[in-house]
Structure 1
């Protein structure tokens, strides 16, 4: 289930530029991924599983019918048994393993094509952890203006409820680096590696700074862009 949580976070935030709106589904927390007022998918958060609520309109049902042979039987059964209302066919799918998640990801791709644009890499600076130093609020060796750093502080504070972002680092291996404070590199060193990206287990949950899974919190799409994804392996990486 931990893999499911991490991959759900990487997929939904890495593929889609959507606001995350926290609500309730009966007694459980529910994140609705929205573009404007349109909900693309809702994820009901449980400790031991996620419930994905996907609603297919007429055009999406036609696409599914074209692809149904490529879905696992349990997805086909859920689709066939789901009731069709005036606004579409409502499906609720329990996900607690990677096979189920991969099938649901295909459903979401039918619902909406990925809309997150690749981040420019021309001036990218990478740390030993694989993260983008040049997108990090702490990085002092780049071209982040103080005006933009202030905007980053506001975004990071909204996401992490922390107001102190004063620490500065000039990058791995430089005189002003702070790798001695980095839990990721401490882990890599204990395993005999000079960098996280050299480890056979990379990326792992330790390699993600910040959110490694979806939380019960509303987050704006642009805040995900600047406050979460720079610290997620293979999102803004090389």
Structure 2
């Protein structure tokens, strides 16, 4: 049986702003989780946030990119959002080394995602903050968080 596709934003012109995206997600717990994830990404990574249109299958996408590489893509949905996280060979090895520390939800997503020539394209649906801590750890496998250089104060 086919699972229905989640309701997404398919308006390309003009692209929605962040307030409109939050209004579309609507569900309070999902919006809080969305904002928490954006805060995590903005505070820990020096990547540019980019809102774009991903075509008729994906709709509006929020990407975190730097030097042409995407850290993570976020698909706003009605009452939720989904995160696309792509693991290459190195990240697959790292995840497998730590897999025992992840919940069954994340190991199942990882195991059920096929390994393609360009990596594992995992789609992680988030409806509230219950998955955020592990999702952040999954992102940190892809890219370690930035460390600020501290100046010595003498």
Give TM-score scaled by structure 1 length.
Answer: 0.47
The whole-number CA distance in structure 1 between the counterparts of 2:82 and 2:66 is 20
Residue 106 in 1 paired to residue 137 in 2?
A: yes
Indicate the SS of the match to 1:115: coil
Contact 1:16-1:116 within 8 A present in 2 as well: no
Structure with greater strand share of residues: 2
Match of 1:52 in 2: 83
Bigger Cα displacement from structure 2, 22-31 vs 79-88? 22-31
| Alignment pair present for 1:81 and 2:105 | no
Residues 16 and 119 of structure 1: CA distance in aligned 2, closer, same or farther (over 3 Å): farther
Q: 1:15 aligns with which of 35, 44, 53?
A: 44
**Which SS does the other structure have where 2:82 is aligned?**
strand
> How many residue pairs were aligned?
121
> Please, what is the CA RMSD of the aligned residues?
1.9
Alignment of 1:189-208 (within 5 A): none
Normalization by structure 2: what TM-score? 0.71
1:2 equivalent in alignment to 2:2: no
Runs (5+) with no aligned partner, structure 1: 123-238
Preserved contact between residue 17 and residue 115 of structure 1 (Cα < 8 Å):
yes
Could you give the per-residue CA deviations for residues 109-145 of structure 1, whole angstroms, max 9, x where no partner exists? 000011263798x9xxxxxxxxxxxxxxxxxxxxxxx
Over 4 Å off, 4+ runs: none
2:101 alignment counterpart: 70
* C-alpha contact (below 8 Å) 1:14/1:116 kept by paired residues: no
Shift of 1:35: 1.2
Which structure 2 residues correspond to residues 114-153 of structure 1 after superposition, within 5 A? 114-115=145-146, 117=148
1:96 pairs, out of 107, 113, 127, with 127
Q: Which moved more, 1:22-31 or 1:7-16?
A: 22-31
Counterpart-to-counterpart distance in 2, 1:56 and 1:27: 19
Aligned 8 A contact 1:82 1:90 in 2? yes
CA distance in structure 1 between the aligned counterparts of 2:89 and 2:96, rounded to whole angstroms: 11
Name the CA distance, whole Å, in 2 between partners of 1:24 and 1:91: 19
Structure 1 counterpart of 2:62: 31
Structure 1 residue 42: deviation in Å?
0.5
